[in-house]
Amino acid sequence: MFFSHLNPEQRESAISSLGSEEFDILVIGGGVTGVGAALDAASRGLKVALIESQDIAAGTSSRSSKLIHGGLRYLEQYDFKLVREALHERELMVSTLCPHLVKPVGFLFPLTDKYKERTYVGAGLALYDALRGFQRAMPWHKHIGQKQINEIAPSLRPDLILGAIKYFDAQVDDARHTLSIARTAARHGAVIATRVSAESLIREGKRVVGAKAIDLVSGKTITIRAKVSVMCAGIWSDELHAKFDLKPGYKVTMSKGVHIVLPGSAIKSNAGIILKTSVSVLFLIPWADKWIVGTTDTPYTGDRAEPFASREDVQYILDQANRVLTPKLNAEEIIGVYAGLRPLVANTKNSETTKISREHTVDRPAPGFVSVAGGKYTTYRIMGKDVIDRAVIELREITAESVTEKLPLVGADGYFALIQQVARLSETSGLDAQTITHLLNRYGSLIGELLELIVENPKLAEKVDKNLLYIKAEILYAASHEGARSVDDVISRRTRIAFEAEDHGLHLASEIASTIAPVLGWSAKQRKESVADYEALVAREVEALNHLLSENETINS
């Protein structure tokens, strides 16, 4: 029997297994594609290990637009296959795979022309809806007049916006979703270890038979034997190819996507808003009682580990949003800024690399070694399936087909029944209905594990901060069940306090460290070091941004 818990005891067991057992598949990389590949392989009955040098979803997979969508803008590029594929995945997530995490969200497409634009955009959204096929977890688009617009979205300029079309996509906490995939993989037998860095490949002749890795916690070297190694490294792909002395069939370039976070009062609208820009689209996305606005799409050549927003990035977002908003957004309102890096793939000439779609590429640069890169968050499951489909060829044995299309993530089972029992759960637990709903939409049917912690220690039912929905049980649970190993892991990814709190959650760092210290076996010195590390990270982000802003435009990020 396997368990989904990720904690110090599980990691210790995983480190032991990595050095003493042979695996069918070794996955290198703990972003959404890596954990998706690990789940795909484990659920086929293969013996799987996954190593990640940082934290699960530490990079791009925690810094997206938080949307699960078909890519409306791809219709203009006539990429119907990609849109259909992404919409199919969206429907699966909302209805079956993880309905507790992926939620429908309505968007308004504002119109400035009464007839021509409405006809053109309306036809596009009709096609967008039609490409969903027969699975329809969300309503069809609908046309809205100017009078309704003034009621639904008072912040849209009445002198410019003459109407809108409302359509639906879906929203997700990307870091939590990625973590849930990892936990589901563990539930099906995958051995998962974070803070383990692949340093070199093990070869027998030309064939790759595993990797040498360093446990970054103990400093010890681990020899991991695997029949096939699968690299899902995203923006780190080129660096690792060079490190492993491989000649890949593709190159990865980085594109920076920046988002700003605003208080709910900054924009008055009961729906999200999508704007077409000269280079892409801009989303104004409701996020609980706040707004996320983005994104940019600019070439990036800086530090992969800590991408920062520039003055130009933030100004672009404000300028584009302010074309249609009244009153206009201003920099002083911004309570958070985050930047992520997209891995854009270009196949090299004459390579044998398989371009699975316009968005992602699978490559086999050496026997026993397969990689995947590119793609978009929404189609992570297909990327995982495609790379494992190629990897199992290397096993030279009959292997089961992928089953992830019908495999719900941990927490999904029974969610729809539990959401009908909020009042009862509130009565039996002593938590208010808002908190129960909050927990169900983050943990689904795993809510029972948090309620057990509260029974053992009633103080864990208290709010972490009066202005946030998180309770203290979630902080402890992050370390005891979700693999968090630092204050940053908890504030930045297990919760989203890093961009939801005005000071990045600095005022909570010491209390959070004290909560998780017993689980992680920290000394007083280690507790202080983790707090200091997070404070230093925030200081670097603030310094990087403020350096690029004039004194009058300084952003509290």
Q: What are the tens digits of pLDDT across the range 315-325? A: 999 999 999 99
| pLDDT tens by residue, 122-146 | 888 787 777 766 666 778 888 998 8
Residues of the chain with pLDDT under 70: 1, 76-78, 120, 132-136, 349-358, 544-557
Q: Is 124 left (phi over 0), alpha (psi -120 to 50) or beta?
A: alpha
Class of domain 96-169+253-342: alpha beta
Residues 255-300: pLDDT tens digits? 999 999 999 999 999 999 999 888 888 999 999 899 999 989 888 9
CA atoms within 13 A on the CB side of 96: 11
CATH of domain 8-61+176-249+348-406: 3.50.50.60
What are the boundaries of each domain within the chain? 8-61+176-249+348-406, 96-169+253-342, 415-547
pLDDT score, position 556: 42
Distance CA 442, CA 183 (A): 14
In angstroms, the CA 348 to CA 520 distance is: 45
| Main-chain dihedrals φ then ψ at residue 423, nearest 5 degrees | -60, -45
| b/e per residue 456-493 (b: at least 16 CB within 10 A) | eeeebbeebeeebbbbbbbbbbbbbbbbbbbbbbbbbb
Amino acid at 417: A
Q: What is the pLDDT of residue 73?
A: 73
pTM greater than 0.85 (yes/no): yes
pLDDT for 200 equals 98
Q: What integer pLDDT is reported at residue 552 of this predicted model?
A: 39
**CATH architecture, domain 415-547:** Orthogonal Bundle (1.10)
DSSP tag of 46: -
pLDDT at position 116: 74
Give 348's DSSP letter.
Answer: P
In this prediction, residue 557 carries a pLDDT of 42
CB atoms within 10 A of CB 393: 12
C-alpha 296/C-alpha 341 separation (Å) is 10
Measured between alpha carbons, how far is residue 97 from residues 94, 218, 385, 439 in Å? 7, 36, 15, 18
